[in-house]
Structure 1
Amino acid sequence: MKQTCEYSTVQNIPFPKYELQEEDDKLKECYLMENSQEPDAPTVVFFPLINDTFQKYKAPGVERSPEEMEQGQVDIYGPKTPYATKELTYTEAAFDKLVKLSEYNILNNKDKLLEALRLAVEKKKRLKGQGPS
């Protein structure tokens, strides 16, 4: 995301500014970036591939039983991860884990997604109201 922001700045492409805060010592499952002062900048919802709360929860607010804990173990960054960028195909099991992790992260951050939609609609209405006189 940092590289995208830097590239956009160099290319004069409107894009929201993104800076990690000091309290962001570990990545979050979802980031919402918006610049209401820049009419052409998009509202961005960024879902990095993070296995944080998914390890302990099978659904938002639903803890895993001891028997289900293995299902929450998704090796994203280890040296033997099946999700390395050099991998072109996944096993069925690795694919299923990735889909479940992604689905969980989206469901767990639905409030941010709804906020992003609300911000985008508000911005669109505001811009429409500023049309040519």
Structure 2
Amino acid sequence: MRQEKEICDPDEFERIYEPLDVKSKKIHVVDSGLTFNLPYPLILRPQRGVDLIISFDFSARPSDSSPPFKELLLAEKWARMNKLPFPKIDSKVFDREGLKECYVFKPNKGDKSCPTVIHFVLANINFRNFKAPGVPRDTDKEIEFGDFDIFDDPASPFSTFNFQYSNQAFKRLHDLMEFNTLNNIEVIKEAIKDSILQRRENPSRCSVSLSLNEIENKKFLKRDTSNAKRHT
């Protein structure tokens, strides 16, 4: 009973909005995927003026062939609710083009404040046959290493709730995403070029003041500053 009372203490998070005490031996950490499983809220702060987002979504899917846009669509909805610029996520691209290693979602023409999103998904497609972009697998060992399912195999080690990977499972996942990234390097380079041209045409995209008064008035930073003032 004593342990349960300590865990459920209503005052446990009483000072959650205060700055972290760097000398404290105990901190509280909350999973950022409670609303949706992508870290877009941090990137989409208007002060950042982001032009290009390259995201890697490792969220679980019902099968390897399932559409990979569930979390991205939630991110788009969150952005709309908070009046933040975000490209339209056309989920029908999956019906037109099938499962790919990455998808590119660009803003509408004339929308100068919206970033481009390159969305990498957890998918084993070309990696099965190539050990590096343009380099086919030759030996039986190489072929066996790349021939694996991520979500379809009931015995797959890549479950969201698996916190311990074997060396082979870790290397497979690492090499897969390295390959997927390198295999689409030209897509990334082209998006960077477009973003540079866009930035040249619109040098300043940050429309939010960074004045101290406005920052302190934000809800998540509201706190009693009397102690801080006494120590300054």
- 1:100 aligned residue: 175
Distance 2:190 2:179 in 1: 18
SS at match of 2:164: coil
Confirm or deny: 8 A CA contact 1:33 1:45 kept in the other structure.
yes
- Contact 1:44 1:116 survives alignment (8 Å): no
Which stretch has the larger CA shift, 63-72 or 92-101? 63-72
What aligned pairs does 1:8-87 form with structure 2 within 5 A after superposition? 8-19=79-90, 20-21=92-93, 22-24=95-97, 26-35=98-107, 36-67=109-140, 68-78=142-152, 79-87=154-162
Letter in 2 for 1:27: L
Runs of 4+ in 1 over 3 A off after TM superposition: none
User: Using a 3 Å threshold, how does the CA distance of structure 1 residues 87 and 34 change in structure 2: closer, same or farther?
Assistant: same
Q: Is the 8 A contact 1:43 1:119 kept in 2?
A: no
Deviation of 1:71 after TM superposition, in Å, equals: 1.2
Looking at structure 1, the residues matched to 204 and 181 of structure 2 have their Cα atoms a distance apart, in angstroms, of 32
User: What corresponds to 1:88 in structure 2?
Assistant: 163
How far apart, CA to CA, are the structure 1 residues paired with 2:191 and 2:113?
15
Task: Work out the CA distance in 1 between the residues paired with 2:146 and 2:162.
Answer: 21
- Tell me which residue corresponds to 2:75: 4
Measure the CA separation in 2 of the matches of 1:90 and 1:96.
Answer: 9
Give the AA of the match of 1:13: L
Secondary structure of the 1:23 match is helix
Supply the distance in 2 between the matched residues of 1:10 and 1:81 (Cα, whole angstroms). 37
Structure ID, larger Rg: 2
Name stretches of at least 5 consecutive residues in structure 2 with no aligned partner.
Answer: 1-71, 206-232
Which segment is superposed worse, 54-63 or 2-11? 2-11
Structure 1, 6-15 or 104-113: larger mean CA deviation: 6-15
Secondary structure of the 1:84 match is coil
Task: Note the residue ranges of structure 1 that are not aligned, 5 or more in a row.
Answer: none
1:46-95: CA deviations, max 9, x gaps?
11011001101111111111412111123211222222212223222111
Greater shift after overlay, 12-21 or 35-44?
35-44
The amino acid across from 1:71 in the alignment is F
Q: Could you tell me how far apart the structure 2 residues matched to 1:40 and 1:116 are?
A: 16
Displacement of 1:129: 8.0
Aligned length, in residue pairs? 129
Aligned to 1:124: 199
User: Could you tell me the TM-score, scaled by structure 2's length?
Assistant: 0.51
* Residues 31 and 46, structure 1, Cα contact 8 Å, conserved in 2: yes
